[in-house]
Amino acid sequence: MTYRLHVHELSGHSHRARLYFSLLGVPVELVPVDLAQGAHKRPDYLALNTLGQVPVLEDDEVVVADSCAILVYLSKKLGRTDWLPEDAQGAARVQRWLAVAAGQLAAGPAAARLVTVFGAALDAPTLIARSHALLVVLERELRERAFLAAEHPTIADVALYTYVAHAPEGNVSLEAYPSVRAWLGRVEALPGFVPMRRSKVGLVA
């Protein structure tokens, strides 16, 4: 059995899934998707993900679209309760941050980066302000514990890491958030960590 992960090298969502495979030490075949050429909107790709987005995971006959769904799928399939707890409280704490990843993170740092990296016609000042509103919350939370949902890493940390780490590419500075920066360092120190290639645009301190 070989996992196949359809990705784009500058997609934070793609990196989120790729990073988790690497942290787990699970081999995966990376299948590049040429977003610039519209490969994600072609019929063969839309058959895998009707929303035409990356990443998509193929596990034999099972197809999983959406990066956070992939994190949950792998955790459940591999029985990794260290990364996704089975108890009600632990699972809820993780789910809270998966919701943030799909909400405030996507509408803040991820969207701000779309403007600079992919040329999206969005309101950059509003997105930057949203990003800082989220970072204020993260800073407060991460003063209390080492990781987002527990005292050890979970898929909550994987879900938020990439777009926070690459927020400067969207002109969102991390300078005022020492606890956030320390958390990023803890994630980067985990065995199996792999970085995403940085874009040369944006890149504020």
> Strand order of the sheet with strand 62-65?
29-32, 3-7, 56-59, 62-65
Answer yes or no: are the C-beta atoms of 104 and 52 closer than 8 Å. no
Give the three-state DSSP class for 89. Answer: helix
The whole-number pLDDT of residue 137 equals 98
CATH topology identical between 3-78 and 88-188: no
Confirm or reject CATH 1.20.1050.10 for domain 88-188, answering yes or no. Answer: yes
Listed by start position, the domains of the chain span: 3-78, 88-188
Q: Mean pLDDT for the chain?
A: 93
Give the three-state DSSP class for 55. Answer: coil
Helix, strand, coil percentages (3-state) for the chain, rounded to 5, are 55, 10, 40
Contacts of 54 (CB under 8 A, 6+ apart): 6, 7, 8, 11, 13, 14, 33, 35, 40
User: What digits encode the pLDDT tens for the residues 85-116?
Assistant: 999 999 999 999 999 999 999 999 999 999 99
- pLDDT (average), residues 59-79: 97
Give the three-state DSSP class for 25. Answer: coil
User: What digits encode the pLDDT tens for the residues 128-175?
Assistant: 999 999 999 999 999 999 999 999 999 999 999 999 999 999 999 999
**3-78 belongs to which CATH class?**
alpha beta
Distance, in Å, from the CA atom of 16 to the CA atom of 5, rounded to the nearest integer, reads 11
Distance, in Å, from the CA atom of 109 to the CA atom of 167, rounded to the nearest integer, reads 5
Distance, in Å, from the CA atom of 23 to the CA atom of 135, rounded to the nearest integer, reads 24
Give the residue among 5, 1, 57, 64 at the shortest CA–CA distance from 29: 5
Tokens of 73: 């799928």
Answer yes or no: are the C-beta atoms of 33 and 40 closer than 8 Å. yes
Distance, in Å, from the CA atom of 186 to the CA atom of 192, rounded to the nearest integer, reads 12
